[in-house]
Amino acid sequence: MTPRVESLALVLCAALFLMFALPRSQGRRMRDDALAALQAVILRVEEDSRTRTVRAPVPITIGRAPSATLVIPDAQVSRLHARIDLIDGTLAVRDLDSRNGTLVNARPIDAPVELRDGDEIDIGMTRIVFCGVGPWK
C-alpha cells in the first residue's frame, strides 16, 4: 500500500471506532446544550407579597444557598432544594432530596417531572410558575 492509502485507512478506522465507541446519547446531549445556550428558561417567582421574573440558562438550581441559580431565602427551603434541567430534550424539574419536598401543580414529586407552560412549582412558601423558554431579552 502507498503511504497515502495507509493514512486514509487509518483515519477511516479511527472514525469508525469513535462512531461506535462513543455513547449514542452524546449527540443528543450536544444538541441539548446547544438549545440551552440559545434560550433562557422564564420563571415567574411569587414570594411573600412580591412577584419577579427570572430568566436563566439550564441547569437551574433552586435553594437557599448563595450558589443556587435561583436563591429563595426561606427556612423551609433546603440549601439545594430542586433543579430544572434538560432530560432527553425536554425541561424537567426534580427534587434534590430536600427536607420538605417539592410540589408540581400541588402534587409531591419523587422523580423528574416534565414541565409545561403554566406549571406551578411550590418550594417552601414560594410558588414558581414555569412560563416557558424564550429569548434572553
SS (H, E, C) 18-82: HHHHCCCHHHHHHHHHHHHHHCEEEEEEEECCEEEEEEECCCEEEECCCCCCEECCCCCCCCCCE
Q: How far apart are CA 9 and CA 6, in angstroms?
A: 5
Question: Mean per-residue pLDDT for 38-50?
Answer: 89
The secondary element (H helix, E strand) that includes residue 100 is none
**Can you tell me which residue has the cell 436563566?**
56
Cell of 26: 452524546
pLDDT at position 137 is 63
Give residue-wise pLDDT tens across range 50-105.
999 999 999 999 999 999 999 999 999 999 999 999 988 899 999 999 999 999 99
Confidence bin at 20 (pLDDT 50/70/90): low
pLDDT at position 19 is 65
Average pLDDT, the chain: 85
Residue 103: count of CB within 10 angstroms of its CB: 16
Confidence bin at 39 (pLDDT 50/70/90): confident
pTM: 0.72
Kind of pairing, strands 120-123 and 126-134? antiparallel
